[in-house]
Structure 1
Amino acid sequence: MAISQAKQPYFGFKGNKLIFWITLACATDMTLFGYDQGVFSGVVISQDYLDVHELRGPENTNMLSIITSIYTIGCFLGAVAALLVGERYGRTKTILIGTAIMTVGAILQTTSYSKPHMIVARIVSGIGNGINTATAPVWQTETSKVHSRGKLVLLEMGLNIFGLSLSNWVNYGMSYTQGSVVWRFPVALQLVFCIILFCTVPWLPESPRWLLAHGRETEATSILADLDDLPVDDPHIAAKKNEILFSIEYERKNASNWGDLLRGRTGAGTKTIRRLILGSGTQAIQQFGGINIMSYYLPTVLIESVNLEESMARLIAACASVVYLAAALAAAPLVERLGRRMMMMVSTGIQLFCFLLITILLSLSEKPGYAHQVEVAEASIVWFFVYYIGFGLGMLGIPWLYPTEINSLPMRTKGAALATMTNWITNFIVVEVTPIGIQNLSWRFYIIWVVTNALFLPLIWLFYPETANRTLEDLDAYYRDDPPLLLFRDRDSTSLRRPAKFADAQDRDVEEATENMRRRSIFVDESKDQSSD
């Protein structure tokens, strides 16, 4: 019994148990992303780090910003790499490549003794992370069931914030020590997550949609059956496979290369450019909503803008990350109930309100002669916490989920990579300008983020279709029907429920597959009878 079980793929796991292990691997990848992103918020205020890399003093603010933000350029390059090689090697192999590069980057950061050394280390780590963050959400989306797809991706982003929170608490704990261990140990902890990924990803299944797109139909059919815990010859598996194959064939007949895309030339009925812009747009909206002011620099913001001491700033950043984590985990069960559109708009509205109050309170704290400068500065801390709640409830996870849903299968790797590239280049802008903006503009710096969030609300309402409760193939069919550009009045675009026409089409496919199997069975029986005669 034990021997036959061992011969089964994926250690015998099927259905929800197999999806759990895929989710665990993707969640580990996103936890590493969150940890890697958050750990430098403590590093940049560590005195030993500043001394070793000769970064003390306001005259070194620009170099400090460059070393911190250059990581996002590495992430951008990693997303480009995922765009170029991800479709060739598949989801699992691409994640392993990214993890290997991140391992090298973590070792280089831990052993850094100079500015050039750390710059190279940050770029290498970023390349690995860019590859992984462009790939893991796609893998999760393509192996998940329609009613749990959004929940699982947002759960991963919740664990991304677990990584961020963990890095803040590790940084706070290390503030009670002395010497280089204050920053080298937190950076080295990234290797634990790399080891977990190396131990899980290699034995998990490849995306069946990727396999079908590359002609490996037998393997893909087997994985589809394992993911649904159904027999390989079940009509539902045959219908699902045929639906995926139809979408692949349709897109190939109407495919456009990058040259055509840049010229605005796409196949009829694919709406490729619109879908790429929508997916990438969510990432731009996320970053220009101001999140990485907090993710990379919250202790610095609290020291410079609120005038807190370093130890208290670290403690508040760590506490805020716990609130952030709770909001991110709460978003997972809500995303299918409320939908992508509603959660993005609510999240952006909360961010707008918080930045408005932060701007007002910090302006009063710097107003000459104002009697309650300390009190209003400290009152602004509350709204940093509330901002984390608002962001965690929507704009944290949906920009990673949406590009994997809105793009067609042939464009999914490209669309996710392009969205991730957008994330990292806009991330770089925010991370680069924040220390300089706080130093030169003081409270006026936060006006920028009030304006950006105010602009994003109508954009989401006007242009973004709902993707909840639709299969990935439903969305291909939706764009073949030429939906309106301004879609807020179109029921099929904004309804949280799956449009009836998609459900009816799927039922017809299952009936057709069942009938084909019945006819095949009758043909086989008649052939046997004739043979026996």
Structure 2
Amino acid sequence: MSSPTFIGLKGQPLVYAVTLCCGLGFLLFGYDLGFMGGLTTSSEFLNQFGNPGASLLGFLISSYELGAMIGALHIFLFGDKFGRKPNVMSGAGIISIGAIIQTTSFSVVQFLIGRVVSGFGLGMMTTVIPVWLAECANPKSRGRMAAMQLSNLILGLIIANWLDYGMASYSGSVQWRFPCAFQIGFCVIIGCYIPFLPESPRFLVREGRFHDASRSLAALRGVEDVAEEIGQIKYAVEIDAKHGNWSDIFKNSGVSGRTRVIIAFWVNAMQQLTGSNVISSLGPYVFQHSIGLSRQNALLVSGGNQIYFFLSSLIAWWAVDRFGRRQLFMFGSAGMSLCMALSAVFVGIGTKSLGYGAVAVLYVFYTFFTVGWQANMWIYPSEILPLKLRVRGGAVGVVSQWAFTFLVVEITPVLITNIGYKSYIVFAVLNFAAIPIVYFFFPETNQLPLEAVDLLFSREGQTSNLLKVVRESTDKNVQEAVQASLYSGVEELVAMETKASVVHREDIVDAA
């Protein structure tokens, strides 16, 4: 008897299919982040909405992040009541509604409503997609799957930038309405594709749907017998059940819930404080108003930057599972801090040649960002959080992601207008400050089974000191001991289930 299949696939090809669907969701994410950047310098768009000043223009863009934050809060409250797939599909449908409202807008208020509605849908998707992928992928390739998913985010940015560049040659409102409508196509593809893929086996185990969980996991692993991994998941669920419920998100119990949620919160926030979205969301604006390029050249340079960004992201496919999360976080932060400092110097001096130097340095910035933070950040919260808190804790993290994205995108036009080159110094300092935070407070999770991470925080049912957990997470001997403890716990659980089954059968015989 062979293992089950979905859409005719099983094993790693099926994991790639799930990754592709997740990647399409993040391609939509990238597109939605990027297409507004070109509209900020479009005379047709600006005239339609009364030539907004820097503050209102920033709010037109960042209102999307407000909607996404509300969408993540929705998942916090209701996401665990449904599977991973239904939440992703609902998010795609809501984004489509928001896109229609934006495309048909004739007033600032209508456009803002459309941005918030689309953001709500994206907030749902970006909360659930990393969890779904992490729970389906093999531990040894989990980081690479996330890196592939995040390359699609950059592909969305590329499509947005070059579509804006191409539409700039058209006159009339089609110049900005078509980019607004274009995002609907991605939503349709996701809606048609996702029903045929497997649900997260960990969600199914938690819901007590063991047959469905075994079928899903057997297809994802490409083997018929998945009893051992199902046992590990059951064991993790049992540990969670012994130490409270989802309200542990606000307190530390045996699974250190509050500590792990705080880590998920700050890793999301710190990614936005790198300044990455300054160029992703406002690239043409920055290149035009900070560095002094013409609108056409600003669009061209921004589009080229996204292509370079995509090519850099391919390095992460190779690096993310080889060097671990902590090392790459610190490497990326050090490089980005240097790039922002150099940009401040080049823009501050203000000569034409150094302006081009600033452009080159901002290109290199994205190599450090994508290798150090991009894929790492999106998989890390799903690895660090226990199963019972994975969706709610992930939602808290995504709320911080969108809150800080809103902050950065909202203030960037104002910063550039008022303090010029010093804007880059702010981000240089923030990136440098991230290095000691990662070193002391971020445990290593690379290639560990998700259930083994739980044991790092809750060995022998005791809440662990975070600094100790961080030290032990980088110790190969401790990692091996934790995994051995996991396998031992599974064996005990299987023995208990077997004994309970035998007693139950004996009771039936006695009753007969």
Match of 2:387 in 1: 409
Relative distance call for 1:353 and 1:487 in structure 2 (3 A) is farther
**Deviations 1:339-398, CA, capped at 9 Å, x for gaps:** 100111111111100011011111111xxxxxxx22222221111101111111121121
CA–CA distance in structure 2, aligned partners of residues 339 and 498 of structure 1: 16
**Structure having the higher Rg:** 1
- Residue 153 of structure 1 and its aligned partner are, at CA, apart by 1.1
- Residue 9 of structure 1 and its aligned partner are, at CA, apart by 5.8
Given that 1:466 and 1:495 are in contact with CA atoms closer than 8 Å, whether structure 2 keeps it comes out as no
Match of 1:529 in 2: none
CA–CA distance in structure 1, aligned partners of residues 286 and 441 of structure 2: 34
What residue ranges of structure 1 are gaps of 5+ in the alignment? 366-372, 523-533
Residue from 218, 235, 238 that aligns with 2:227: 238
Is the deviation greater in 193-202 or in 219-228? 219-228
1:287 aligns with 2:276: no
CA–CA distance in structure 2, aligned partners of residues 508 and 284 of structure 1: 37
**Deviations 1:456-475, CA, capped at 9 Å, x for gaps:** 11100111111001000000
- Residue 227 of structure 1 and its aligned partner are, at CA, apart by 1.4
What residue ranges of structure 2 are gaps of 5+ in the alignment? 503-512
CA–CA distance in structure 2, aligned partners of residues 102 and 354 of structure 1: 35
Residue from 342, 347, 350 that aligns with 2:327: 342
Residue from 247, 252, 262 that aligns with 1:266: 252
Residue from 222, 226, 241 that aligns with 1:252: 241
Matches within 5 A, 1:184-199: 184-199=177-192
Relative distance call for 1:15 and 1:519 in structure 2 (3 A) is farther
In structure 1, what residue type is equivalent to 2:400?
A: T
Match of 1:107 in 2: 100
In structure 2, what residue type is equivalent to 1:402?
A: Y
Match of 1:37 in 2: 33
Match of 2:466 in 1: 485
Match of 2:507 in 1: none
> How many residue pairs end up in the alignment?
498
Matches within 5 A, 1:304-315: 304-315=289-300
Matches within 5 A, 1:85-124: 85-124=78-117
- Residue 176 of structure 1 and its aligned partner are, at CA, apart by 2.0
Match of 2:506 in 1: none
In structure 2, what residue type is equivalent to 1:349?
A: A
Match of 1:172 in 2: 165
Matches within 5 A, 1:4-403: 10-55=6-51, 60-231=53-224, 234=225, 237-258=226-247, 261-262=249-250, 265-267=251-253, 269-365=254-350, 373-403=351-381
Relative distance call for 1:128 and 1:225 in structure 2 (3 A) is same
Given that 1:143 and 1:207 are in contact with CA atoms closer than 8 Å, whether structure 2 keeps it comes out as yes
What is the root-mean-square deviation in Å for CA atoms of aligned residues?
2.4
- Residue 283 of structure 1 and its aligned partner are, at CA, apart by 0.8
CA–CA distance in structure 1, aligned partners of residues 435 and 337 of structure 2: 9
Match of 2:421 in 1: 443
Given that 2:249 and 2:258 are in contact with CA atoms closer than 8 Å, whether structure 1 keeps it comes out as yes
**Deviations 1:226-266, CA, capped at 9 Å, x for gaps:** 211222xx2xx2221122112112212212454x654xx33
- Residue 498 of structure 1 and its aligned partner are, at CA, apart by 8.1
In structure 1, what residue type is equivalent to 2:482?
A: F
Residue from 496, 499, 519 that aligns with 2:479: 499
Equivalent position SS for 2:140: coil
Structure 1 segments, 4+ long, off by >4 Å, are 495-498, 506-520
Equivalent position SS for 2:372: coil
Relative distance call for 1:351 and 1:172 in structure 2 (3 A) is same
In structure 2, what residue type is equivalent to 1:486?
A: L
In structure 2, what residue type is equivalent to 1:278?
A: I
Is the deviation greater in 425-434 or in 438-447? 438-447
Is the deviation greater in 506-515 or in 157-166? 506-515
Match of 2:404 in 1: 426
Relative distance call for 1:506 and 1:485 in structure 2 (3 A) is closer
Percent identity of equivalent pairs: 32
- Residue 96 of structure 1 and its aligned partner are, at CA, apart by 0.8
Match of 1:528 in 2: none
1:464 aligns with 2:442: yes
CA–CA distance in structure 1, aligned partners of residues 99 and 75 of structure 2: 20
**Deviations 1:406-458, CA, capped at 9 Å, x for gaps:** 00000000111111101000000001100011111111222211111121111
Given that 1:463 and 1:487 are in contact with CA atoms closer than 8 Å, whether structure 2 keeps it comes out as no
In structure 1, what residue type is equivalent to 2:241?
A: R
Match of 1:368 in 2: none
Match of 2:510 in 1: none
In structure 2, what residue type is equivalent to 1:139?
A: W
Relative distance call for 1:210 and 1:293 in structure 2 (3 A) is same
In structure 1, what residue type is equivalent to 2:326?
A: R
CA–CA distance in structure 1, aligned partners of residues 78 and 490 of structure 2: 35
CA–CA distance in structure 2, aligned partners of residues 51 and 452 of structure 1: 36
Given that 1:287 and 1:430 are in contact with CA atoms closer than 8 Å, whether structure 2 keeps it comes out as yes
CA–CA distance in structure 2, aligned partners of residues 17 and 158 of structure 1: 18
Given that 1:339 and 1:496 are in contact with CA atoms closer than 8 Å, whether structure 2 keeps it comes out as no
Relative distance call for 1:459 and 1:519 in structure 2 (3 A) is closer
CA–CA distance in structure 2, aligned partners of residues 65 and 72 of structure 1: 11
Given that 1:462 and 1:487 are in contact with CA atoms closer than 8 Å, whether structure 2 keeps it comes out as no
Relative distance call for 1:77 and 1:192 in structure 2 (3 A) is same
- Residue 508 of structure 1 and its aligned partner are, at CA, apart by 4.7
- Residue 488 of structure 1 and its aligned partner are, at CA, apart by 8.9
Equivalent position SS for 1:179: coil
1:455 aligns with 2:448: no
- Residue 504 of structure 1 and its aligned partner are, at CA, apart by 2.8
- Residue 18 of structure 1 and its aligned partner are, at CA, apart by 1.8
Equivalent position SS for 2:208: coil
Normalised by the length of structure 1, the TM-score is 0.89
